[in-house]
């Protein structure tokens, strides 16, 4: 896996063009290879000079990254604040871009020489279940704004969970994830939540790191 301009090459003949097909949803249970996939994404993005924020509410493997990189949060308070800050930075950049001398309608952050920002949120559903209804609604609202408005300013969301729960991916937010990766084996309900249908031939062999992917190109 490596990064090209506005794109990540995931494997041979498979790219994620995040500038045009933003936001990534990852699902995978224990032993599926989800954590390794996320760690690889982080390494590639950091090497590409992207600004990366990592949220690990279970204080597990991803939280250990705080010894080697900034912007890693694991407590409820720090995670909530990071989501708020990421949203505010996105809104501020959107305003600032319009004031730049080289600003041109229709061009994005990269045209202005700005770095992409990625919010990588592991165990998203587990975190949301820790919150009060009011706290949950606030986080969901901010994330919805990020996936709706972030592309032009270069703010991208990567959500990971064991299974996408419609309760926390409602109001059309799921449809804004143009790349979806389901690692390992999932139930029909899990596939339906990820891809919106189950009448496809999904990968069923229990091999770590293998699974199904929707690249958002309808191909």
Q: Is 74 annotated as contributing to ligand binding? A: no
Helix orientation angle between 133-153 and 76-99, rounded to the nearest 10 degrees: 30
Q: How far apart are CA 118 and CA 145, in angstroms?
A: 14
Q: Is 209 annotated as contributing to ligand binding? A: no
Q: Is 31 annotated as contributing to ligand binding? A: yes
* Alpha-carbon dihedral angle through residues 104, 107, 112, 113, given to the nearest 10 degrees: -170
Q: Which residue has the tokens 């010894």?
A: 67
**213 DSSP assignment:** E
Q: Is 6 annotated as contributing to ligand binding? A: no
99, two tokens: 């004031």
Q: Is 32 annotated as contributing to ligand binding? A: yes
Give the neighbor-by-neighbor strand order of the sheet with 211-214.
72-73, 51-55, 117-121, 155-161, 24-27, 179-183, 211-214
CA 203 to chain centre: 22
Q: Is 29 annotated as contributing to ligand binding? A: yes
Q: How far apart are CA 78 and CA 121, in angstroms?
A: 12
> Residues annotated as binding site?
28-35
Annotated binding site for ATP: 28-35
């Amino acid at each position: 896996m490596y990064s090209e301009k506005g794109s990540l090459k995931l494997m041979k003949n498979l790219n994620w063009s995040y500038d045009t097909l933003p936001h990534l949803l990852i699902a995978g249970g224990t032993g599926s290879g989800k954590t390794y996939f996320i760690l690889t994404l982080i390494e590639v993005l950091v090497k590409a000079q992207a600004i990366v924020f990592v949220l690990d509410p279970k204080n597990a493997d991803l939280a250990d990254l705080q010894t080697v990189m900034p912007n890693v949060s694991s407590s409820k308070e720090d995670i909530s604040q990071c989501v708020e800050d990421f949203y505010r930075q996105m809104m501020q950049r959107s305003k600032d871009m319009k004031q730049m001398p080289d600003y041109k309608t229709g061009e994005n952050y990269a045209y202005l020489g700005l770095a992409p920002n990625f919010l990588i949120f592991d165990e998203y559903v587990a975190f949301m279940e820790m919150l009060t209804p009011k706290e949950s609604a606030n986080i969901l609202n901010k994330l919805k704004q990020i996936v709706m408005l972030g592309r032009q300013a270069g703010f991208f969301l990567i959500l990971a969970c064991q299974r996408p729960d419609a309760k926390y991916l409602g109001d059309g937010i799921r449809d804004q994830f143009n790349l979806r990766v389901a690692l390992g084996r999932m139930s029909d309900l899990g596939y339906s939540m990820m891809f919106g249908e189950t009448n496809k031939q999904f990968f069923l062999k229990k091999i770590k790191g293998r699974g199904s992917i929707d690249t958002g190109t309808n191909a």
